[in-house]
Amino acid sequence: MYLLTGQEDYLRNQYKNKLTKALLGDGDTMNLNFFSGKEATPLSIIDIAETLPFLAERRVIVLENTGLLKGSQEALADYLKETPETTFFVMSEKEVDKRSKVYKAVKQKGYVCEFNEQDENTLRKWIKQSFAKENKQIEERALAIFLNKTGTDMSGIKTEMEKLICYCHEKDVITSEDVEAVTTERITNRIFDMIRAVAERNQKQALDLYYDLLALKEPPMRIMALIARQFNLLLQVKVLKEKGHDSRYIGEKVGLQPFIAKKYMEQSNGFKTWMLRQAVEDCVKADEDVKTGKLNDLMSVELLIIKYSSLQIER
């Protein structure tokens, strides 16, 4: 049995498919069973696992984001300790509880591999190699802009690379202008830019970015949630920075790559710690006011932007 876990969906999916193909070969659907989400119950999995393969050496059961490795599933945990030799499991779970009995059983009997977010150097190498396979190169400045727009999610990066390859089909070198022309910026990046404008007390730019998101049909409450997340991250980064920690340590603690953590450290300079604490509390209060009908959702975000882009850093 193989357990693939971690936040990097692209790598988990890639190796799930490679393992399944290696175990079954091409085209064998008779001996492949797939379970995902809540449809995967211990009894249904055990029932299939007890079925002998049809005219083949193996039966492969793929479990994807079932949540079975986060809770107490004693029946499944006990079964995994004594599975038939002809049954193989490939499990792809974004989140697991390493204290659960199922996880311990899998670790004892099988192989566990974690796929977490890749660091900047790894992503740069992967992007360059991917373009090289298409006989293209990307300028260093263009690569920096590209990563800044896409973030570290490899699935998103893959999609944006494919767009660039199509756009530059007659060119050998991808430039900054090409990246700016076709690469889509993640909404989290726009939120980052909005909060940066707030930190710089550039109210007009912050509001313009908000109105741009509304024009893109982003729901105000989703924008609110992302603003709250941004303020919360900045607060954590600010506190750790004040304790003298570097970007690598801070990134590990808050779940950011060091080069992204460095950007948050710079942005946190525009706020005092008390301001960020208050901002997080104000986001919670605004969310409550909208849900209870005390405040309009569009206006709730607008008022937050106006308040913190007007607030003086001295107290």
Q: Give the C-alpha distances (Å, rounded to integers) separating 7 from 12, 30, 147, 240, 255.
A: 9, 31, 18, 23, 10
Residue 207: predicted pLDDT = 93
Residue 189: predicted pLDDT = 79
Rounded to the nearest 5 degrees, what angle is found at the Cα of 282, between the Cα atoms of 281 and 285? Answer: 90
Describe the crossing of helices 187-199 and 220-242 by its angle, rounded to 10 degrees: 60
Pick from 195, 191, 207: nearest CA to 306:
207
Strand partners of residue 137: 173
Residue 120: predicted pLDDT = 86
Longest dimension (CA), the chain: 76
Q: Strand order of the sheet with strand 59-64?
A: 32-36, 59-64, 87-93, 2-5, 111-114
Residue 265: predicted pLDDT = 93
Pick from 36, 53, 54: nearest CA to 45:
36
Q: What is the DSSP string of 143-191?
A: HHHHHHHHTT-HHHHHHHHHHHHHHTTT-SEE-HHHHHHHPPPPHHHHH
Q: Which pair of tokens denotes residue 266?
A: 């710079």
Residue 315: predicted pLDDT = 45
Residue 257: predicted pLDDT = 80
Q: Do residues 159 and 202 touch, judged by C-beta distance below 8 A?
A: no
The residue whose two tokens read 């796929």 is 115
Residuewise pLDDT in 10s, the chain (315 residues): 999 999 899 999 999 999 999 998 777 789 999 998 877 888 999 999 999 999 889 999 999 999 888 877 889 999 999 899 999 999 999 999 999 999 999 999 999 999 988 888 999 999 999 999 999 999 999 999 999 888 888 988 999 999 999 999 889 999 999 999 998 878 777 888 889 899 889 999 999 999 988 888 889 998 999 899 999 999 999 999 999 999 989 988 988 888 888 889 999 998 999 999 999 999 999 999 999 999 899 999 999 999 999 877 554
Domains of the chain (ranges; CATH) run 2-114 (3.40.50.300), 120-182 (1.10.8.60), 187-310 (1.20.272.10)
